[in-house]
Amino acid sequence: MNNKIRFLAMVVLSIGMVFLYKCRKDDEMQPASSNNSGIINPGDDNIKGKYIVIFKDDAFPDFKGILDYEQRRALMFDAVKKYLINKNIPGIFPERVYHTVMKGFAARLNVMQFEMLQKNPEISFIEEDKIISLEPLIISSIDIPRAQTKPYGITRVGTGNGTGKTAWIIDTGIQLTHPDLNVDVPNSKSFLLSGTNSRSPNDENGHGTHVSGTIAAKNNTVGVIGVAANAKVAAVRVLDKNGSGTVSGVINGVDYVASKGKSGDAANMSLGGAVSASLDTAVARASRKGIFFAIAAGNSSANANNYSPARVNGKNIYTVSAMDNNDRWASFSNYGNPPVDFCAPGVNILSTWIGGKYMTISGTSMAAPHAAGVLLLTNGHPNTNGTVKNDPDGNPDPVVHL
Ligand SMILES: [Ca+2]
Ligand SMILES: [Ca+2]
């Protein structure tokens, strides 16, 4: 009882912080959806003065043969600094560099710097950075199962042994010590640039831990079981404890997964926002390494084509809508084929939570990881089982299945 009240208080606090931040950003508060959790903060969330600068592919050497991520990163930082000196553009301090899916950097630019950069033939495009944030989580309940229970979504899509497989969770981090998760701590990394504990990939929100449990919670005697039970989950932390991050940071995470991941791995992206050409490109290119991407369609009851990265299509890229335990369409779910490939359970989903706990929440954020688990176990050849009822686009999405 006390635990429950404390948790709800934390969530209310967290919602308040997200909205405070949003109000400062764009002076226009978006209404909270009444029945969803998870992703997507649509609308104009540009971060004034901050840009993502993408070079043409042949503008820099490829660092071929240099496999170490940190070494590649250091070389790219040097290359960008040298480029800016050679072009005689002063005062730009790159905050991030991209070197695997594409060559580029993120930095604050004034008008003069923007114009000087843009006229150079090596530049492919420059895009304003944007805020990406989770919608407030609507908490159904907190549960601490004593004996292991199989959540209905796992029963619906199937479960198998994921031992030896790896899923990259591009999200709020993962509770590194959760007893029901097999976290790949050495390969977990944070891409947050500021804030307390920003360097740690440990989850301070709960969302990424929840996603992880649906994909890969251990088949043991406690808690829940995931689709690809016992698979490793690596935290790629791009959203902070309030569920807020930037497109430039998410691209950093995708670039990292492309650098460290291998063919047959899965990456889960239960996040999104306004259309971003650079984020779309990053996901499309990372998928070409044979990494399977499961992407939440979004929770705006809108066409998924208007959101990134949900709108990205391609081999190894799967956008996932949400349904309930009776295969009925979740009213909050985004729709549209393409880009939506599958529907999966996303209403009242029980999974792992921070503090070694378990939580029941809803959102397309909860649907995508069901697909990620299936992609891991089928090596990218998912099956389907029936279709969702009442799909609003009139083209019923097939339900993903082992
Ligand atoms: Ca378990
Ligand atoms: Ca559809």
Give the pLDDT of residue 66.
Answer: 84
Q: Which residues contact 390 (CB under 8 A, 6 or more apart)?
A: 328, 329
pLDDT bin (cut points 50, 70, 90) of residue 88 is very high
pLDDT bin (cut points 50, 70, 90) of residue 216 is very high
Determine the distance separating the centroid of ligand 1 and the alpha carbon of 233, expressed in angstroms. Answer: 14
Q: What is the mean pLDDT of residues 345-361?
A: 95
pLDDT bin (cut points 50, 70, 90) of residue 137 is low
List Cα–Cα distances, 65 to 69, 71, 94, 265, 287, in angstroms: 11, 11, 25, 21, 20
For the chain, the structural domain boundaries read: 46-132, 136-401
> Where is pLDDT greater, at 25 or 313?
313
Q: Report, as residue numbers or ranges, the catalytic residues.
A: 171, 207, 365
State the amino acid at position 104 in one-letter form. G
Place of tokens 């950003």: 25
Is residue 306's pLDDT more than 50?
yes
Cross-strand pairs, 52: 106, 127
Determine the distance separating the centroid of ligand 1 and the alpha carbon of 172, expressed in angstroms. Answer: 21
Q: What is the mean pLDDT of residues 80-84?
A: 97
Burial of 298 (0-12, 13-18, 19+ CB in 10 A): buried
Task: State the angle between helix axes of 364-377 and 207-216 in degrees (0 to 180), rounded to the nearest 10.
Answer: 30
Q: 46-132 with 136-401: one CATH topology?
A: no
Determine the distance separating the centroid of ligand 1 and the alpha carbon of 39, expressed in angstroms. Answer: 26
Cross-strand pairs, 170: 236
> Where is pLDDT greater, at 352 or 31?
352
Is residue 214's pLDDT more than 60?
yes
State the amino acid at position 248 in one-letter form. S
Share of the chain above pLDDT 70, in %: 88
Which ligand has the shortest distance to the CA of 149? 1
Q: Which residues contact 371 (CB under 8 A, 6 or more apart)?
A: 157, 294, 318, 320, 341, 342, 344, 382, 400
Which ligand has the shortest distance to the CA of 147? 1
The token pair that represents 358 in the structure block: 């378990």
Per the prediction, the chain carries an average pLDDT of: 88
Q: What is the mean pLDDT of residues 85-107?
A: 96
pLDDT bin (cut points 50, 70, 90) of residue 358 is very high
Which of 12-26, 132-146, 335-349 shows the lowest per-residue confidence on average (mean pLDDT)?
Answer: 12-26
CA distance 291 to 14: 33
Contact call for residues 215 and 228 (beta carbons, < 8 A): yes
Q: What is the mean pLDDT of residues 359-373?
A: 96
Query: What are the b/e assignments for 40-74, b being 16+ CB within 10 Å?
Result: bbbbebbbeebbbbbbeeebbeebeeeeebeebbe
Contact call for residues 62 and 259 (beta carbons, < 8 A): no
Q: What is the mean pLDDT of residues 234-257?
A: 97
Determine the distance separating the centroid of ligand 2 and the alpha carbon of 392, expressed in angstroms. Answer: 7
Domain 46-132, architecture per CATH: 2-Layer Sandwich (3.30)
Domain 136-401, architecture per CATH: 3-Layer(aba) Sandwich (3.40)
Give the pLDDT of residue 143.
Answer: 73
Is residue 12's pLDDT more than 50?
no
**What pTM was computed for the model?**
0.89
> Where is pLDDT greater, at 33 or 316?
316
pLDDT bin (cut points 50, 70, 90) of residue 292 is very high
Determine the distance separating the centroid of ligand 1 and the alpha carbon of 150, expressed in angstroms. Answer: 9
Give the pLDDT of residue 138.
Answer: 65
The token pair that represents 27 in the structure block: 């002076």
Determine the distance separating the centroid of ligand 1 and the alpha carbon of 379, expressed in angstroms. Answer: 23
Which of 5-14, 147-156, 204-213, 331-340 shows the lowest per-residue confidence on average (mean pLDDT)?
Answer: 5-14
Determine the distance separating the centroid of ligand 2 and the alpha carbon of 43, expressed in angstroms. Answer: 23
Q: What is the mean pLDDT of residues 346-355?
A: 95
Determine the distance separating the centroid of ligand 1 and the alpha carbon of 177, expressed in angstroms. Answer: 14
Closest CA to 292 of 337, 354, 342: 342
Determine the distance separating the centroid of ligand 1 and the alpha carbon of 188, expressed in angstroms. Answer: 21
Is residue 6's pLDDT more than 60?
no
Q: 190 φ, ψ to 5°?
A: -100, 140
Is residue 7's pLDDT more than 60?
no
Determine the distance separating the centroid of ligand 2 and the alpha carbon of 309, expressed in angstroms. Answer: 17
Which ligand has the shortest distance to the CA of 342? 2
Determine the distance separating the centroid of ligand 2 and the alpha carbon of 385, expressed in angstroms. Answer: 15
Is residue 4's pLDDT more than 60?
no
pLDDT bin (cut points 50, 70, 90) of residue 150 is very high
pLDDT bin (cut points 50, 70, 90) of residue 136 is low
Q: What is the mean pLDDT of residues 138-151?
A: 80
